[in-house]
Chain A
Amino acid sequence: MEHTKTIDTGHSEPHFDTKPIWRTFWILLGITLFELLLATIHIKTDGRFPPKLALNGMYLILTCAKAFYIIAEFMHLRHEIKNLIMTVAIPATLFIWFIISFLWDGGSYRDLRNRYDRHHFEQQQVKAPPAEGGEGHEPAAKKPGTPE
């Protein structure tokens, strides 16, 4: 970043070789395949391994890793100057509050409603009628109380 001119047309930047691009591609593909593998193991073990909560945690971490590689390498943000990185990164931290508070609020609403609106809670326990058509080939009926 030794330029002093206003518009950086990039002719003198040697960092745009294609090697990191392909490396990023393989990382993204690998992470996606790993997520698929986790999901397959989870289905094959009838949801016992990995436990759903741990599985979701891993999905979220892997998703953030993919997002990082796309933004940093494909969108090239990692190679911009700090001013630009911060002007994007600092507002994005609002998402931390945004996610925690809204999910918490949703969970709290569910708990309060289940406690004080018994009718709603009982309605939610009613089983759906068996689905028509292609849904009839289930190997076994789902056990009640299977984690969501």
Chain B
Amino acid sequence: MAQMAPAGTKWWSGGKSPFNVEYGKLMMWYFLMSDAFTFGAFLISYGSIRFATNGWPDPNEVFRAFPLLEGMNLPLVFVSLMTFILIASSVTMVLAVAAGHNNDQKSVTKYMILTIIGGLMFLGCQAWEWTHLHGEHAWWGRNPFPNADGSVATTNFTNFFFTITGFHGFHVFSGVIINIIMLIKNLRGDFAKRGHYLMIEKAGLYWHFVDLVWVFVFTCFYLL
């Protein structure tokens, strides 16, 4: 294949990575590819079932609560806040990666702490939302919400909602754990000793992927 790379660089002639990235980072990309197909399979099976069903609940009727503002009709507001939190924590994560490029250990610490706080806030929001929906008798196998046309809905709506947001929430949780480990390693000076912060980049890739999946979960469950 003709290459776009600088003139004369023979990427495939051996002796160097043809992808110009470190092995671990490349493998993180491939892991994320496989994870993307896992989430894709979940979301597409949801879409397939939804296309195969005559009616479906209106998300604006289901997701319209906000903490401490009980009884108010606020469709999409809370989930938009969750989206904002996750995007903001993605930004602090890139800033941590950028600080790592500059070998700025202090800034890496600062931005990793902010990213972890963002992740925990997101998990808190999700915990509140699940608790709220459970309080409305929604759970796996139980769906109190009627279809948009008023007919009786199947439990597929809640089954898919809790399975997919739960799977995503588990990814956020493991991302927070990974970020905490990276923060500890950074505080111990492991990366400074090593001379590079590639581990922060790999954790960052995972964290952005979690944000990426949320973009699709947000669209599929709350908007469409």
- Interface residues in chain A, defined as those with a beta carbon under 8 Å from any beta carbon in chain B: 1-11, 13, 16-18, 21-22, 24-25, 28-29, 32-33, 35-36, 39-40, 43, 56, 59-60, 63, 66-67, 70-71, 73-76, 80-84, 87-88, 91-92, 94-95, 98-99, 102-107, 109-110, 113-114, 121, 124-128, 131, 133-134, 137, 141-142, 144-148
Contact = CB atoms under 8 A, between A and B. Distances in A.
Interface stretch (B120-128, B158-166, B174-182, B203-211): B203-211
Contact of B51 (A83, A91, A107): A107
A128 B98 contact: no
A71 B212 contact: yes
Contact of B216 (A5, A63, A80, A82): A63
- 9 nearest A-B pairs in the assembled complex, by CB-CB distance: A106-B51, A128-B146, A106-B48, A106-B52, A9-B196, A84-B19, A124-B54, A63-B219, A102-B48
A75 B144 contact: no
A23 to B, nearest CB: 11
B167 interface: no
Contacts of A7: 17, 22, 198
A116 to B, nearest CB: 14
Contacts of B71: 134, 137
